[in-house]
Amino acid sequence: MTAPAGEDDGFEPLSTYREYPPEEMAARASAFADEMHRRRTTRHFSERPVAREVIEHCIRAAGTAPSGAHQQPWHFVVLSDAAIKRRVRQAAEAAEREFYATAPAEWLDALKPLGTDADKPYLEAAPYLIAIFAKRYGINADGSRCTHYYVSESVGIATGLLIAALHHAGLATLTHTPNPMGFLREALGRPENEKAVMLVVAGYPADGARVPRLRRKDPEDIGTFL
Ligand code: IYR
């Protein structure tokens, strides 16, 4: 596992790994699961400001996600300016009005327990909207295209880490997927090779914030050991 002396094979020792005693490992796994269980998506956000530094750290955490061929095919655009948030809200609500007027009955029925509708006040109230873009392909220095691999998987993992990081920091989150959301790319000045995949709303929950009474599947129902 070592390169011939004097040659750089592009590898380095795995120096960041930490081993814990087995009991500590189990305790850490359990505590993390408990912490993640406390995460709830809410649609009720406070306007209370949050330090930009917190969001910067959370994006740093998201950027640790593994990605196809380590191409890191993601970009996060953080919106906090009131005028930009208002524009995004207006465009998202226009798209959602169309969605709620035309979506299949089965889809609308599935959404009923969440109590959603075309009004998205949280897109203006919350201090941060984080627009997540997937780089469908890369651009080489000479302007030619470079294929990206497993883009949705990679961006999905990064988004999961972002949500976990925001929750861990003590922020409430909401994943919002305007339908359609093509408007985001142009509105936020992102290049043609990027595709908007999600808006993550982040901030303090509003006083009296509510969430639907949902039940999570039990571990036995979502995992099988063979
Ligand atoms: N984009 C719509 C509808 C919506 C769809 C799903 I699937 C959800 O889990 C929640 C909402 C909206 O944001 O209202």
Taking the centre of ligand 1 as the mean of its atom positions, its distance from the CA of residue 108, in whole angstroms, is: 9
pLDDT tens, position by position, 126-166? 999 999 999 999 999 999 999 999 999 999 999 999 999 99
pLDDT band at 186 (very low <50, low <70, confident <90, very high): very high
pLDDT band at 187 (very low <50, low <70, confident <90, very high): very high
Q: Does 95 have pLDDT greater than 80?
A: yes
CATH domain 49-206 topology: NADH Oxidase (3.40.109)
Domain locations in the chain?
49-206
pLDDT band at 181 (very low <50, low <70, confident <90, very high): confident
* DSSP assignments along 170-187, one per residue: T-EEEEE--SS-THHHHH
Cβ of residue 177 lying under 6 Å from some atom of ligand 1: yes
pLDDT band at 4 (very low <50, low <70, confident <90, very high): confident
Return the percentage of the chain with pLDDT > 90, whole number. 94
pLDDT band at 19 (very low <50, low <70, confident <90, very high): very high
Closest ligand 1 atom number to CA of residue 176: 13
Per-residue confidence (pLDDT) for residue 5, from 0 to 100: 80
Per-residue confidence (pLDDT) for residue 85, from 0 to 100: 97
Cβ of residue 114 lying under 6 Å from some atom of ligand 1: yes
* CB proximity list for 118: less than 8 A, separation 6 or greater: 93, 96, 97, 99, 100
CB atoms within 10 A of CB 97: 13
pTM of the complete model: 0.96
Taking the centre of ligand 1 as the mean of its atom positions, its distance from the CA of residue 94, in whole angstroms, is: 14
Total count of residues recorded for the chain? 226
pLDDT band at 3 (very low <50, low <70, confident <90, very high): confident
Q: How far apart are CA 64 and CA 134, in angstroms?
A: 15
Average pLDDT, whole number, for the chain?
A: 96
Class of residue 138 by CB neighbours under 10 A (exposed 0-12, middle 13-18, buried 19+): middle
Q: How far apart are CA 200 and CA 163, in angstroms?
A: 8
Single-letter residue type at 220: E
Q: How far apart are CA 171 and CA 128, in angstroms?
A: 11
Cβ atoms of 161 and 219 within 8 Å: the answer is no
Class of residue 78 by CB neighbours under 10 A (exposed 0-12, middle 13-18, buried 19+): middle
- Interior CA angle at 117 toward 113 and 120, to 5°? 120
